[in-house]
Amino acid sequence: MVRDGEERAAHILAQKEFRVRFLMRETSITEAQARDLIDLIGNDSNSLLREARLLNKL
């Protein structure tokens, strides 16, 4: 049971790292900005991209 929880946590962390790198590459926002967006919005790719692009225009 603990192993399943650890594997899930590792998977979630890997997904977040992937999203951070993706947002940085696609929209040229900083790592901190990408992490903040993910914390605020969640894991929805379309919403993250939309908000990251708006943030990049500022």
pLDDT in the model for residue 23: 96
pLDDT in the model for residue 33: 96
pLDDT in the model for residue 2: 58
Q: State the total domains in the chain.
A: 1
The single-letter DSSP state of residue 43 is: S
pLDDT in the model for residue 35: 96
pLDDT in the model for residue 32: 97
Residues 6 or more apart whose CB falls under 8 angstroms from that of 37 comprise 23, 29, 48, 51, 52, 55
The model's pTM is 0.83
Residue-range definition of the domain harbouring residue 49: 2-57
Query: In this structure, are residues 41 and 47 in contact, taking their beta carbons and an 8 Å threshold?
Result: yes
pLDDT tens profile 1-52: 557 888 899 999 999 999 999 999 999 999 999 999 999 999 899 999 999 9
